[in-house]
């Protein structure tokens, strides 16, 4: 039942999108794109709107609804058709430390139920990550839909092959679960037990539950069908960014920038 809920939700728990033109509807085969994966976000926001108690909060929520509805699933699909997930060009050189911005805090869960906050950086204090070694370079691969999981792996696997032997690097493949039902504690715990686990400590597969609208706004993430890749330094600052599936040229720039970060230690 939980697997079906995962497939029906807007999550990346299992491959829900078979192609850019059709989606897989559990128990009914392929269906049209009328099954809009943003509908749950709209419904949750609509319910929240009627629970808010002041005008300022209501206005903020209305602005959010307008923002979310101004760009729907069809816009995402159209953009992916045009650029194959490359919503922007990857950095060719490392972002200077003085110009780099900190990656926003994000609470994630391991498949065993443990939770912690990303990024793991030397700037943290008094958190549940105090016993986790601070990596000199971290690769964060964000997937908001099942269609972008393979995109994330096109970056993470070569990255791991190139730098795992050097130590103090870390990969986090983050799957976002925005179903309100799957975010409830009892259901979430059962859901996590069924999710895939990593057998490599340097490559962790983690899950972020709940509403991620404000997190996405901070990173200017619009298209939820592509992957977003961030290279962070030991202070949790974004020093490089890529999108979609990796090309050989982009992998070369990622490897070069990572080597520079490791030299900064």
pTM, entire model? 0.76
Q: What is the dihedral of CA 219, 220, 226, 227, to 10 degrees?
A: -20
DSSP bridge partners of 31: 23
DSSP bridge partners of 118: 106
Contact 19, 12 (CB under 8 A): no
Which of 172, 171, 170, 168 minimizes the C-alpha distance to 265? Answer: 168
Both structure tokens of 216: 């996405």
Contact 120, 138 (CB under 8 A): yes
Contact 53, 72 (CB under 8 A): no
In this prediction, residue 85 carries a pLDDT of 86
pLDDT tens, the chain, 265 aa long: 554 445 444 444 433 333 333 333 333 343 443 345 455 554 454 445 445 557 776 666 676 666 666 666 777 888 888 888 899 989 999 999 999 999 999 999 999 888 999 998 765 544 455 567 889 999 999 999 988 999 999 999 999 999 999 888 999 999 999 888 888 888 898 989 888 778 899 999 999 999 999 999 999 999 999 999 999 999 999 999 999 999 999 999 999 999 999 998 6
């Amino acid at each position: 039942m939980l697997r079906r809920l995962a497939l029906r939700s807007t999550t990346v728990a299992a491959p829900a999108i078979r192609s850019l033109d059709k989606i897989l509807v559990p128990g009914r085969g392929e269906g049209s794109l009328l099954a809009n994966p943003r509908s749950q976000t709209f419904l949750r926001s609509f319910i929240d709107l009627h629970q808010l108690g002041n005008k300022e909060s209501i206005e903020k929520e209305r602005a959010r609804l307008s923002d979310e509805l101004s760009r729907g699933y069809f816009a995402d699909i159209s953009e992916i058709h045009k650029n194959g997930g490359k919503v922007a060009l990857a950095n060719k050189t490392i972002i200077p430390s003085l110009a780099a911005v900190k990656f926003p805090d994000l609470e994630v869960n391991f498949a065993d139920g443990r939770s912690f906050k990303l990024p793991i950086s030397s700037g943290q204090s008094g958190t549940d990550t105090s016993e986790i070694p601070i990596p000199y370079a971290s690769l964060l691969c964000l997937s908001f839909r099942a269609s972008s999981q393979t995109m994330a792996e096109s970056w993470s696997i070569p990255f791991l092959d190139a730098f795992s032997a050097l130590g103090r690097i870390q990969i986090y493949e983050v799957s976002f679960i925005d179903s309100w039902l799957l975010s409830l504690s009892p259901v979430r715990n059962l859901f996590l037990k069924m999710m895939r686990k990593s057998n490599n400590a340097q490559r962790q597969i983690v899950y972020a539950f709940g509403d991620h609208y404000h997190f996405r706004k901070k990173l200017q993430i619009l298209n939820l069908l592509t992957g977003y890749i961030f290279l962070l330094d030991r202070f949790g600052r974004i020093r490089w960014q890529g999108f979609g599936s990796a090309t050989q040229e982009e992998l070369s720039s990622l490897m070069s920038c990572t080597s520079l970060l490791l030299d900064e230690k």
